[in-house]
Amino acid sequence: MRTVPLAGLPDVSVVCLGTMTWGSQNTEDEAHEQLDAFVAAGGNLIDTAELYPVPPDPKYTGETELIIGRWLAKHPDLRSRVIIATKVAGPMPRNFVSAAREKALTGTLDPAAPLPRLVPEQIERGLAASLARMQTDYVDLLQLHWPDRYTPLWGNNVYMKELEGKHEQQPRSSEERVPFDDVVRCLGALIEKGTIKAWGLSNETSYGVCEWVHAARRCGVPPPVTIQNDFSLLDRRFESELAETCSSVNHNVGLLAYGPLAGGTLSGKGYSEPGSRHVLFPNFQARYHCPASRDAAEKYAQLAHSKGLSPTTLALAWAYSRHFMTSVIIGATKMKHLLENIEAASIVLDKDTLHAIDAIHRAARNPNLRS
């Protein structure tokens, strides 16, 4: 499997194994089978989060990291060969994630745990819990799961003046905004301590990327090396000004693309197949299977079939082909789908196919967006 360089870390595989279904839709045995197959195929980048599995549910919070930890315990020789990326949660309206940290560290849920915020003490506590669950003394990449400030998130695309100083998930006054420098100093201390090797962003904007990089320079801390944002045939926003911001000639922040199949919608069957995410959880990531997204996905599926490809292969091969791509996060509940997702990294789309993709996009730009 092809690898690409990433600042501050070993070269990473262009395919990143996503884990967000493990512990709810997937059993531990199934997850370990996926990990074994992924490593056997040459993959080394594994993405998780303290929040996983999703949709968020207090019953399962932290299970995904526990599953990874038990796999690492079975294969201690693999720890130095895999790159583990996890995420600390941003603001939420309930405290079950922070309560679960205490269960990981003390064995007991803390019903009085604070609401999640990206403040230094919670970042440190969240990381400590992730390390305990995964039975490791470091993670390679710690990501800030979403911003601790108001910005349009998860398909919202319009910045609203009246929401400044608040947050989609946790309204509060602007005086409570966490300074960038405070967070960066915390992350720098974790790098010096050796409990993380590098740090990254997620669900960020160009403004956020620039502020984090400038804060890192002010504080003498290594800058963020990755940004994990939504990116697919149904949401190509990254390829405009964010691609410029993150380019190697500017801030050199590599894209880890999530949602490349829009939760299965771009597979041609993922919003109707029994047991699929959108059937089981129709209100979770509903933007991925709204009517406009389905209509566009059908056009991409027709194009794929005309080229002798599956819709999944077309969508993923296109994502792998992007010049700004570091790694594409794939996820599957079935092994046959996982293997298909991995195989798509070896497919090269011809110019006619790429032009046809762009023509569909021009007629239906970013249908995932809700604003």
Instruction: Give 296-345 pLDDT, tens digit per residue.
Output: 999 999 999 999 999 999 999 999 999 999 999 999 899 999 999 999 99
CA distances from 13 to 41, 67, 258 (A): 10, 21, 15
**pLDDT reported for residue 90:** 96
b vs e for 165-203, b when ≥16 Cβ sit within 10 Å of the residue's Cβ? ebbbbbeeeeeeebebeebbbbbbebbeeebbbbbbbbb
Q: Phi and psi for 188 in degrees, rounded to 5?
A: -60, -40
Kindly write down the DSSP assignment for every residue of 124-161, as one continuous string.
HHHHHHHHHHHT-S-EEEEEE-S-SS----TT-----G
Cβ pair 131, 86 in contact under 8 A: no
- Residue bearing tokens 């933007």: 287
Cβ pair 3, 44 in contact under 8 A: yes
Strand residues in the chain grouped as ranges (E): 3-6, 9-13, 15-18, 45-47, 83-88, 139-144, 196-202, 226-230, 254-258, 325-330
Residue 277 clears pLDDT 80, i.e. is over it: no
Mean pLDDT on 235-259: 97
Q: Tell me if residue 173 falls in helix, strand or coil.
A: coil
- Per-residue pLDDT of 8-41, as tens digits, reads 899 999 999 999 999 999 999 999 999 999 999 9
Q: Phi and psi for 252 in degrees, rounded to 5?
A: 55, 55
Mean pLDDT on 183-192: 98
- Per-residue pLDDT of 102-138, as tens digits, reads 999 999 999 999 999 999 999 999 999 999 999 999 9
**pLDDT bracket for residue 165 (50, 70, 90):** confident
Mean pLDDT on 259-272: 86
**pLDDT reported for residue 24:** 95
Q: Is the residue at 240 inside a domain?
A: yes
What CATH number did the domain enclosing 56 receive? 3.20.20.100
Average pLDDT, rounded, for the chain: 95
Range of the domain at 76: 3-267+312-349
**pLDDT reported for residue 314:** 98
Residue 270 clears pLDDT 70, i.e. is over it: no
Catalytic site positions: 52
Torsional class of 216: left (φ above 0), alpha (ψ -120 to 50), beta (otherwise):
alpha
- Per-residue pLDDT of 66-91, as tens digits, reads 999 999 999 999 999 999 999 999 99
Cα dihedral sign, 210-3-231-337: negative
Cβ pair 31, 63 in contact under 8 A: no
**C-beta atoms surrounding 237 within 10 Å:** 17
Mean pLDDT on 194-203: 98
d(CA 365, CA 245): 21
Number of domains composing the chain: 1
**pLDDT reported for residue 169:** 81
- Per-residue pLDDT of 166-177, as tens digits, reads 887 887 776 678
**Of 138-142, 161-165, 196-200, 243-247, which gets the smallest average pLDDT?**
161-165
* Host H or E run for residue 105: helix 96-106
Mean pLDDT on 273-298: 85
**pLDDT reported for residue 48:** 98
Q: Is the residue at 236 inside a domain?
A: yes
DSSP 8-state code for residue 119: -
pTM, to two decimals:
0.96
Q: Is the residue at 304 inside a domain?
A: no
d(CA 11, CA 44): 9
* 302 Cβ contact partners less than 8 Å away, ≥ 6 residues apart: none
DSSP 8-state code for residue 170: S
b vs e for 8-22, b when ≥16 Cβ sit within 10 Å of the residue's Cβ? bbeebbbbbbbbbbb
Cβ pair 350, 317 in contact under 8 A: no
